[in-house]
């Protein structure tokens, strides 16, 4: 087994930086800014686990079932997650949180969000 240790950098790899991504449906953006960028630092061969840094402009998505287990640390901005029962939490710079696969929620970025993530299917 190869061990791989690396540092997550808030702006992606210095040589390539952050690249445009399309995880977010364009119809869910709530401002004229539709910027979404990502840098994946690590991904398993089968694609089931990945880690990186992601940034997205304000948007609001109603998610019936979150597609994977995801742990996140907010670097900048804020996101509010509203659970199916109506309870909500807002996460800002320095906060780390986890969403379990299958969670029903409303994901609302109220200020451009940059986060580190680790996703596992």
Residue 2 resides in a domain: no
Domain holding 111, by residue range, is 28-116
Residue 3 resides in a domain: no
Give the number of domains in the chain: 1
Predicted model pTM: 0.93
CB under 8 Å to 53, separation ≥6 — which residues? Answer: 8, 9, 10, 11, 12, 18, 38, 39, 41, 75, 114, 115, 116, 117
Tens digits of pLDDT across the chain (121 residues): 466 888 999 999 999 999 999 999 999 999 999 999 999 999 999 999 999 999 999 999 999 999 999 999 999 999 999 999 999 999 999 999 999 999 999 999 999 999 999 999 9
Residue 10 resides in a domain: no
Find the CATH number of the domain harbouring 112: 2.60.120.10
Residue 66 resides in a domain: yes
């Amino acid at each position: 087994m190869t061990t791989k240790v690396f540092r997550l950098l808030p702006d992606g790899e210095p040589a390539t930086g952050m690249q445009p991504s399309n995880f977010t449906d364009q119809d869910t953006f709530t401002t004229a800014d539709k910027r979404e960028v990502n840098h994946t630092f690590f991904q398993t061969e089968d694609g089931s686990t990945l880690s990186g840094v992601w940034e997205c402009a304000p948007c609001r998505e109603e998610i019936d079932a979150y597609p994977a287990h995801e742990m996140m640390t907010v670097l900048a901005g804020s996101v509010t997650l509203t659970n199916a029962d109506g309870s909500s939490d807002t996460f800002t710079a320095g906060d780390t949180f986890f969403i379990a696969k299958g969670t029903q929620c409303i994901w609302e970025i109220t200020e451009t969000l940059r986060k580190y993530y680790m996703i596992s299917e």
